Amino acid sequence: MSQDAPQKIVGVPRESFPGERRVALVPAHVAALKKAGFAVLVERAAGVRAGYLDDEYTAAGAELADSRDVVFDQADVVLQVRAAGANRHAGADDINRLHNGQTLIAICDPLAQADFMQDIAARGATTFALELVPRITRAQSMDVLSSQASIGGYKAVLSAAAQLPRMCPMMMTAAGTIAPARFFILGAGVAGLQAIATAKRLGAVVWAYDVRPAVKEEVQSLGAKFLELDLVKSADGQSGGYAKEMDDEFYRKQREAMTKLIAESDVVITTAAIPGRRAPILVTEDMVREMPEGSVLIDMAAESGGNCEITDAGEVTIKHGVTIDGTINLPATVPYHSSQTYSKNVVTFLLHLQNENALDADSDDEIVQGTLVTRDGEVVNARVRDVLGLAPRIPSEAATETSTSSEVPEASAATAAEAAADTPQADTSDANSTMSDEAPPREANPE
């Protein structure tokens, strides 16, 4: 940032999505923004639910704001976890607080809730949607969906273990041998791989399936067994770092092939989500009926419709003797570390925008082009414009399409992309089949 340029203020409001306990910026990362020339303004108690106190922010050099309105009024750049369409409950109120020339950086769900993007554009604000970060190596450290998916996969297993009326490991006791629990993980992206690793640590017998045969080696490296289904004949089953979306006939055959293993499983964890679309149905009600009494199904795609036909989003229900957990936003249930990883991702992203001068002007950088949704009063992202039925923009259209084609952001899975819940951050361009750079070694796997 030029010494002659006025100091930009980064504002961090308290999250307003119901049950959201994360915060977009943690105290440990304030110094990096200060060093880059930003001032930091944090709403009072913004980090309390995640375990970060106001005194920690002020000690790190941030200023405190007494209200949400003050943050939005003074900030040049607003950092949030869930905004716009990703916060359908209260996001509209914040849109009304945005003003001309302001920049919003957050998870926004622009493909499924594109109308929110038009509203932001009408306010004259610039929006960068973090779930649209391209699947390229140099963007790994900015991939919020990947870091959050890893935490979600970890918590899904712990939640299943807590609700299961049996222990996970095999145990030799004076009363005899206790058999290990049987887990079946649908999807081997970041969330799925972390779920596999965590279930193995608990001593369970783990099976996994993914539409991409290439992930078999990774699954097996974690000690799990890979279910091979002869359903994809030609390609590797992925596109742009995500598993491809298949047709209805594929899903039908897939369900038939998985029914026997699901019926033998004590825990089933599903992770398949498709950005901007309803999650594919992987487990039907008839399949649930065949599961053992007292078994548990964790549906990580509940917020986007669910991979189980009878999941109730946001609810934990018992149907046909099976506990079906439709808890949404699992990373928010581990807010301390999920905030820590999110904050690291978003600060890295903001500093990248600063280096590219993308906060104030257009840039041809692939990461900027891929995540930029609104600027100068209009929706500029090619994919979002397509959802809205808007004509393609002639300027930079080719570059925009190139940088966004790899999003289809959590987030790879059993049959499609693990996006919001399961989007990986990789060592290579095959983002879905490798670990995030915040992950532990392969033996323990992802984050």
CA separation for the pair 290, 313 (Å, rounded): 22
Distance of CA 241 to the CA centre of its chain: 14
φ, ψ at 176 (rounded to 5°): 120, -175
Task: Choose the catalytic residue: 57, 209, 242, 342.
Answer: 242
Q: Do residues 285 and 309 make contact, with C-beta atoms less than 8 angstroms apart? A: yes
The answer to whether 140 is a known catalytic residue is yes
Phi-psi region of 240 (alpha: psi -120 to 50; beta: other; left: phi over 0): left
CA separation for the pair 78, 83 (Å, rounded): 10
Other CB atoms within a 10 A radius of the CB of residue 35 amount to: 10
Q: Do residues 287 and 315 make contact, with C-beta atoms less than 8 angstroms apart? A: no
Task: Choose the catalytic residue: 80, 140, 343, 412.
Answer: 140
What the block records as the tokens of 289 is 């009926």
The answer to whether 242 is a known catalytic residue is yes
What the block records as the tokens of 351 is 């500093």
- β-partners of residue 105 are 79, 128
Task: Choose the catalytic residue: 82, 123, 135, 255.
Answer: 135
DSSP state of 340: H
Task: Choose the catalytic residue: 80, 102, 113, 146.
Answer: 146
SS (HEC) of 131-199: HHCCCCHHHHHHCHHHHHHHHHHHHHHHHHHHHCCCCCCCEEECCEEECCCEEEEECCCHHHHHHHHHH
Say which amino acid occupies 405.
Answer: S
Distance of CA 314 to the CA centre of its chain: 17
Task: Choose the catalytic residue: 76, 143, 210, 325.
Answer: 143
- Note the residue count of the chain: 447
Q: Do residues 379 and 134 make contact, with C-beta atoms less than 8 angstroms apart? A: no
The answer to whether 143 is a known catalytic residue is yes
Residues annotated as catalytic (active site), given as ranges: 135, 140, 143, 146, 242
